[in-house]
Structure 1
Amino acid sequence: MAEIVYPPVLRTALTAFRLLDIRFHMEGTERIPRSGGAVLVSNHVSYLDFVFAGFAAHPAGRLVRFMAKKEVFEHPVSGPLMRGMHHIPVDRSAGAGAYDAAVRALKDGEIVGNFAEATISRSFTLKEIKSGPVRMAAEAGVPVIPVALWGGQRLWTKGRPRRLLQRHVPITILVGEPMHPDAGADIAGLTADLRRRLADLLDEAQRTYPDRPEGVWWQPVHLGGTAPTPEEAAALDAADRSRRK
């Protein structure tokens, strides 16, 4: 497919991050296949995670087609960009269409990006994850690749003002070992294994992060930060859902 929008968007983002001296630390990017389909599954702490998870595939020369809620595609600014980059809209009230579109993309040799927690984690710890990524990979016959992201929450996250012009922020991107589910796979068991892998990668990203002050809002409680606990975050998410209804 023609790539008219995606490459210039990536170049613009990379230029902006260089000007802001955003300091990337990436490990394991050689695990991204240079050809063929794969499901890239990341934790979700920031509205910029689409960009950072996509960077994980950049050294392999790959573009990631992310699954994102359909409202992003309906926005007058982000919508044309999302469609131009061939991302996959998700209608949460009718998810089968997005699932089928993702499986088709995987069989066509695309990398599909998925945030298996479904929403940003306000506690900055890993929430429970959906089984969709493992099911898609098993049906399409492609690997699942876990990715941990850390640092993006300092720039823009749920419930906090945007700080997109903040300088010198470190961003950690860790790519884990691929998983290879097959058609007869134990989906529940593999989903639990995927969550363990993501949690271990996230813990490594957090504990090796070069900037680790205590008492800051962007650190989880178990590392001395003041972010909501997982229980408090779940209550905030429930209140959000009630307001939307």
Structure 2
Amino acid sequence: MEPVFRTLEIAAVAVTGAAGTRITYDGLDNIPARGGAVVAINHTGYLDFLPAALAVKHRGRRVRFMIKAEMERVTIVGYLIRHTGTIAVDRRAGAGAYAVAVASLRAGELVGVYPEATISRSFELKEFKTGAARMAIEAEVPIVPLIVWGAHRVWTKDHPHALGRKKIPVNVAVGAPIPAAGPAAELTARLREAMGALLDRAQADYPHPAGRHWVPRRLGGSAPTIEEAGRLDEAELAERARRRAEGRRTR
């Protein structure tokens, strides 16, 4: 795990440097210097993991991300999953991945989780799943809320990517660890509230030009509202179901 992970870290630093990306970190001291913790990250695009991982690296730690199992079919991604300790999650049968995550937390590792499960097309926080809270409670470790803002400008759903030397700024805000206490639903609500406050903080000094697709509607942009994004998500799920059914009929 370590050699591949180290190579990835070097590559991540090189890629962000080549792109001219300036990442601003706030609250890095909230990432535990040792011991297990769930790192809960908002999900606005395909590259949220990168600034989050670099934030953790600044604390001399590494994070094991939970990633959807379908990505294993991509050759290079599958290789990285197998050699970096990434936890592949089968959404139809996630118990195995959940058990691996809990064991990793108990062993003192940081596990990166997206409580929203899927990318937010509105760039606002979606409703949270309770998985992050449940694994924190079972492993008896805290949850560290972490917000990434700006990476969605590089690559997100429904829009062309902006890879290359674009010099897009990214803000990362890390909140105080939340003790794993109380029922999972209540802990999830506390987590979402903490991440909402962090999101406001990360957006506060970030320029948001009116009308841009990556700017939330409440900040003057043209991103879908939460309701509109929900309808787009439903349409996407329906289309996936249709394709699966069609595939079964043609076998």
Q: Same fold per TM (> 0.5)? A: yes
Counterpart of 2:244?
A: none
Counterparts of 1:69-108 in structure 2, within 5 Å, are 69-108=68-107
1:219 to 192, 211, 215: 215
1:238 aligns with 2:234: yes
What CA deviation, in whole Å up to 9, does each residue of 1:130-182 have, x standing for no partner?
Answer: 11111111111111000011001110001111111142110000000101114
In 2: Cα distance, 1:42 partner to 1:69 partner: 15
1:195 aligns with 2:189: no
The alignment yields a C-alpha RMSD, in angstroms, of 1.0
Counterpart of 2:115?
A: 116
Counterpart of 1:129?
A: 128
1:65 and 1:113 in contact (8 A); partners too: yes
TM-score by length of 1: 0.96
1:155 and 1:166 in contact (8 A); partners too: no
> Given residue 240 of structure 1, which amino acid in structure 2 is its aligned partner?
E
Give the gaps of 5 or more residues in structure 2. Answer: 242-251
In 2: Cα distance, 1:169 partner to 1:144 partner: 29
Moved over 4 A (4+): none
2:23 and 2:51 in contact (8 A); partners too: no
In 1: Cα distance, 2:150 partner to 2:33 partner: 27
TM-score by length of 2: 0.93
> Given residue 221 of structure 1, which amino acid in structure 2 is its aligned partner?
R
1:160 aligns with 2:156: no
2:208 and 2:220 in contact (8 A); partners too: no
Report the 3-state secondary structure (helix = DSSP H, G, I; strand = E; otherwise coil) of the residue aligned with 1:40. Answer: strand
In 1: Cα distance, 2:96 partner to 2:44 partner: 26
Displacement, 1:35? 1.4
1:156 and 1:164 in contact (8 A); partners too: yes
Displacement, 1:95? 1.1
In 2: Cα distance, 1:159 partner to 1:10 partner: 28
What CA deviation, in whole Å up to 9, does each residue of 1:178-201 have, x standing for no partner?
Answer: 01114xx22211111110111111
In 2: Cα distance, 1:95 partner to 1:43 partner: 20
Displacement, 1:82? 2.0
Give the gaps of 5 or more residues in structure 1. Answer: none
> Given residue 185 of structure 2, which amino acid in structure 1 is its aligned partner?
A
Structure 1, 188-197 or 219-228: larger mean CA deviation: 188-197
What CA deviation, in whole Å up to 9, does each residue of 1:94-118 have, x standing for no partner?
Answer: 1111111100000111100000000
2:19 and 2:163 in contact (8 A); partners too: no
> How many residue pairs end up in the alignment?
241
Counterpart of 1:176?
A: 175
Report the 3-state secondary structure (helix = DSSP H, G, I; strand = E; otherwise coil) of the residue aligned with 1:168. Answer: coil
In 2: Cα distance, 1:162 partner to 1:212 partner: 18
In 2: Cα distance, 1:166 partner to 1:91 partner: 35
1:150 aligns with 2:146: no
